[in-house]
Amino acid sequence: MSLPTGPKVYATAASALAGVVRDNITVMSGGFGLCGIAENLIVALRDSGVKGLTVVSNNAGVDEYGLGMLLKTRQIRKMISSYVGENKEFERQYLSGELELEFNPQGTLAERIRAGGAGIWGFYTRTGAGTLVAEGKEQRVVDGETWVLEKGLVADLSIVKAWRGDTEGNLIYRKTARNFNPMMATAGRVTVAEVEKLVEPGELAPDQIHTPGIFVQRIIQGPAYRRQIENRTIRKRPAAGVS
């Protein structure tokens, strides 16, 4: 069965990024660990050979998968993130001075992205006041509390992953795979989405749509997904005779 077609629909991840990616741009990449990442678009970014990327993402995946692939090929110059714990190459590059890193408290990172997508230049938050996070940033005391100015984030390109999408770019995310994707879809000058299932307009229930198509410029249906798990934790079975 042929896929739905439309002006926003591209046949491959590489063609969806053509004319958009170039050296030294800022890219927002949805996902949390390996959950909800635009894995086919990340591979296409790697294969494009672009360099000097500033990547806004909660983390950088794992060493051999997700954004970790772009670290391995040294295509990322700077990460704006909140967590680096699952990626040894990320840690190594940062500690050796090969990679710039802008740490953000996770809620602050999410709000910076949301603010950028909403056209909000900046906002004040108590998170990080009195810590290294606040160094070099404007601070104000209001009602006896110190507040830190954080700036909204926008990107040249946002790549997001959804469960279902239609040819107009309307997207539905599945459970925790939603994570940072909806905010990043609004904060990209160009947003490219990949979906597991692409359908015709009208097939998605309007009340179920998380990202309206106005925020999405290009869309693909991913050919395959690995469903890789970062850390598989299995409870040990109790010894015989132990209740």
In a domain, 140, yes or no: no
CA dist 209 and 180 (Å) reads 15
Domain membership flag for residue 130:
no
pTM over cut 0.85: yes
| Rounded Cα gap, residues 145 and 3, in angstroms | 55
The SS3 assignment for 125 reads: strand
**Distances, alpha carbon 204 to alpha carbons 9, 22, 181, 194, in Å:** 16, 34, 18, 16
CA-wise closest residue to 45 among 187, 157, 195: 157
Q: Note the pLDDT tens digit of each residue in 4-37.
A: 999 999 999 999 999 999 999 999 999 998 999 9
Separation of alpha carbons 166 and 44, rounded Å: 22
Domain containing residue 23? 13-120+153-221
CA-wise closest residue to 223 among 87, 19, 81, 44 = 44
| Rounded alpha-carbon distances, angstroms, from residue 138 to 123, 129, 130, 134, 150 | 11, 11, 12, 8, 8
Mean pLDDT for the chain?
Answer: 93
The answer to whether residue 136 sits within a structural domain is no
- The count of domains in the chain is 1
- Averaged pLDDT for residues 165-188: 98
CA dist., res. 119 & res. 108, Å (int): 16
Answer whether 115's CB lies under 8 Å from 153's CB.
yes
pLDDT at 220: 98
* CATH value at residue 217: 3.40.1080.10
For residue 141, name the pLDDT band (cuts at 50, 70, 90).
very high
* Structure confidence at residue 227 (pLDDT): 67
Mean pLDDT of 104-133: 97
pLDDT band at 224; cut points 50, 70, 90: confident
Does 178 fall in a domain? yes
pLDDT of residue 241: 64
Interval 219-228 mean pLDDT: 82
Any domain includes 22: yes
Is pLDDT above 80 for 206?
yes
Looking at residue 223, what is its pLDDT?
Answer: 85
Phi, psi dihedrals of residue 22, rounded to the nearest 5°: -160, 170
* Cβ contacts of 103 within 8 Å, gap of 6 or more: 81, 82, 133
pLDDT at 153 over 80: yes
Q: Is residue 142 part of a domain?
A: no
Please indicate, yes or no, if residue 6 is contained in any of the structural domains: no
Nearest Cα neighbor of 162 from 199, 114, 198, 194 is 194
Q: By the 8 A CB rule, do 239 and 191 touch? A: no
- Average pLDDT of span 216-234: 80
| pLDDT (0 to 100) of residue 129 | 96
Per-residue pLDDT reduced to its tens digit, 39-83: 999 999 999 999 999 999 999 988 889 999 999 999 999 999 998
Q: According to DSSP H, which parts of the chain are helical?
A: 13-17, 39-48, 68-72, 88-95, 106-118, 181-187
Quick one: pLDDT at residue 83?
87
Question: Is 199 within the bounds of a domain?
Answer: yes
